[in-house]
């Protein structure tokens, strides 16, 4: 669709003034927003497709700053266990069994769930093999960044299953990551990007930190890494290096704005200063900490990081670690868990939570020149959210953003436009055969779980 006009809506622009335009309109030409303003002022825009957004919010597509596409078939396989068991007993064995077809289906299912709930850009820290994830992003119309989750060491207390595709030497890891970035960065007219990736501290040698850092700087892309996820992981680093995670990485002299750290529950005040000085990106995944008990809400310093001006974005992680991919829920969690943990009722405002899911997310992934807000010249990643629903009424100007964050849900999203293409209209996804993917994903997972080295049983009797 070349020319689209969205009119009569309440437009939350997320521009630098955070303007909200009542009876507002957004004009789109090809992949770009060409105008944002009052509906009246844009009424002469010649559009081939018009969306009447009366009783609706028009807002930038949400940015899920951390989501594993290949874990979508692992929903229900890793609930109620600690992080070590989650990784080493459940998810790594699952990832070892994934076929090309399974990863492709997993990724398509993931895209469906994100589009359905208003996410238009996703940052995937990697799994294996990622070509299938790239293919699913390309076909579904999603915007995204993909990576290979690099690991080059393993120990007896953190064993990796044989056959896990990421279990490689330092040289092999560097080679496979370099190849992925070369093949996938700036694909689909720039809608798909690639980055480097490291899995988690116990699986990364200092040589890999240094090697990946050099490649990322050379190629001008990020390095995504789960870091300081919980106390166990940080203690593991301390026992081997005498330093905590970020302090250790700082001692290697590698940190900079291209480092993109996920979870980050356990940090010292000194590490916060290091992150700020180096303009590192931090991704908060409140749903994963609530589900997996990492400590982000109780000992995490997210309010402090936000106060210091560190870029903190929001993610959903995966259907095995959260298990929801609804960014509305993630915003709710970000705006509530810290208040409760500190007993301070206005600690992270809903407006901040919305920033984290849009413009701050765009800055985190180094894409804020093109996405994260509705402004002339930016890419047309726009969602239309229905507000005349029981979870939104009564609605006032003063309560619009709080209502969106505290009462809104992904199911309120009606239309999704990504890169100027209509990907979902009136809640129907146009790019993927949803019923077919649901059926195939269920079938593929039933086959896969038979081969897992663990068996899960329902707690209650099924008759």
Q: Kindly state the smallest distance separating residue 12's Cβ from Zn ion, in Å.
A: 28
Cis peptide before 323 (omega within 30 of 0): yes
Alpha carbon distance 129, 95 (integer Å)? 10
Using the minimum distance from each CB to Zn ion, give the nearer residue, 126 or 134: 126
Q: Kindly state the smallest distance separating residue 288's Cβ from Zn ion, in Å.
A: 7
Q: Kindly state the smallest distance separating residue 67's Cβ from Zn ion, in Å.
A: 8
Alpha carbon distance 19, 13 (integer Å)? 6
Using the minimum distance from each CB to Zn ion, give the nearer residue, 227 or 306: 227
Q: Kindly state the smallest distance separating residue 137's Cβ from Zn ion, in Å.
A: 17
Using the minimum distance from each CB to Zn ion, give the nearer residue, 24 or 166: 166
Using the minimum distance from each CB to Zn ion, give the nearer residue, 61 or 292: 292
Six token digits for residue 206: 């200092």
Q: For 146, left (φ over 0), alpha (ψ -120 to 50), or beta?
A: beta
Alpha carbon distance 303, 253 (integer Å)? 27
Alpha carbon distance 365, 387 (integer Å)? 29
Q: Which residues bind Zn ion (CB under 5 A)?
A: 317
Q: Kindly state the smallest distance separating residue 114's Cβ from Zn ion, in Å.
A: 15
Residue number with the shortest CB distance to Zn ion? 317
Q: Kindly state the smallest distance separating residue 283's Cβ from Zn ion, in Å.
A: 9
Is residue 205 within 8 A of residue 159, CB to CB? The reply is no
Alpha carbon distance 117, 279 (integer Å)? 30
Is residue 253 within 8 A of residue 235, CB to CB? The reply is no
Using the minimum distance from each CB to Zn ion, give the nearer residue, 152 or 317: 317
The CA-to-CA distance between both ends of the chain, in Å, stands at 51
Using the minimum distance from each CB to Zn ion, give the nearer residue, 317 or 368: 317
Cα 107-113-118 angle, rounded to 5 deg: 125
Using the minimum distance from each CB to Zn ion, give the nearer residue, 69 or 352: 69
* 62 phi and psi angles, rounded to 5 deg: -80, 150
Q: Kindly state the smallest distance separating residue 43's Cβ from Zn ion, in Å.
A: 46
How many helical (H) and strand (E) elements, i.e. helices and strands, does the chain have? Answer: 16, 18
């Amino acid at each position: 669709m070349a020319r689209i006009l969205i009119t009569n809506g309440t437009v939350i622009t997320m521009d630098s003034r955070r303007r909200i335009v009542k009876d507002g309109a957004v004009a789109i030409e090809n992949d770009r927003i060409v105008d944002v303003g009052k509906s009246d002022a844009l009424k002469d825009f010649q559009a081939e497709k018009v969306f009447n957004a009366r009783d609706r919010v028009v807002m930038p597509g949400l940015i899920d700053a951390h989501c594993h596409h290949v874990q979508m078939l692992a929903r229900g396989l890793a609930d109620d266990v600690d992080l070590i068991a989650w990784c080493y007993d459940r998810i790594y064995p699952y990832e070892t069994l994934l076929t090309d077809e399974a990863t492709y289906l997993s990724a398509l299912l993931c895209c469906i769930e994100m589009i359905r709930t208003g996410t238009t850009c996703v940052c995937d820290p990697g799994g294996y093999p990622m070509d299938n994830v790239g293919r699913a992003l390309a076909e579904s119309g999603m915007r995204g960044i993909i990576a290979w989750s690099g690991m080059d060491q393993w120990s007896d207390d953190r064993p990796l299953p044989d056959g896990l595709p990421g279990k490689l030497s330092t040289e092999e890891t560097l080679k496979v990551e370099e190849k992925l970035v070369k093949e996938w960065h700036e694909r689909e007219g720039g809608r798909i990007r690639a980055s480097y990736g490291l899995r988690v501290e116990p699986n990364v040698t200092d040589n890999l930190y240094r090697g990946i850092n050099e490649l990322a700087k050379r190629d001008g892309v990020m390095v995504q890494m789960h870091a300081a996820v919980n106390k166990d992981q940080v203690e593991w680093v301390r026992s081997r290096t005498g330093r905590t995670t970020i302090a250790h990485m700082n001692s290697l002299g590698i940190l900079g704005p291209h480092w993109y750290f996920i979870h980050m529950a356990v940090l010292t005040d000194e590490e916060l200063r290091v992150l700020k000085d180096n303009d590192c990106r931090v991704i908060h995944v409140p749903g994963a900490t609530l589900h997996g008990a990492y400590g982000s809400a109780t000992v995490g310093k997210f309010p402090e990081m936000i106060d210091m001006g560190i870029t903190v974005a929001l993610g959903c992680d995966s259907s095995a670690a959260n298990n929801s991919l609804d960014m509305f829920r993630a915003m709710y969690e970000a705006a509530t868990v810290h208040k409760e943990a500190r007993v301070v009722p206005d600690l992270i405002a809903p407006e901040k939570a919305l920033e984290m899911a849009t413009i701050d997310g765009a800055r985190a992934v180094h894409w804020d020149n093109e996405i994260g807000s509705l402004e002339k010249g930016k890419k047309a990643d726009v969602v239309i959210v229905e507000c005349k629903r029981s979870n939104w009424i009564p609605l006032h100007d003063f309560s619009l953003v709080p209502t969106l964050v505290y009462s809104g849900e992904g199911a309120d999203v009606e239309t999704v436009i990504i890169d100027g293409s209509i990907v979902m209209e009136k809640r129907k996804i146009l790019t993927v055969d949803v019923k077919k993917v649901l059926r195939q994903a269920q079938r593929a997972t039933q086959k896969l779980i038979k081969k897992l080295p663990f068996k899960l049983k329902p707690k209650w009797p099924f008759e």
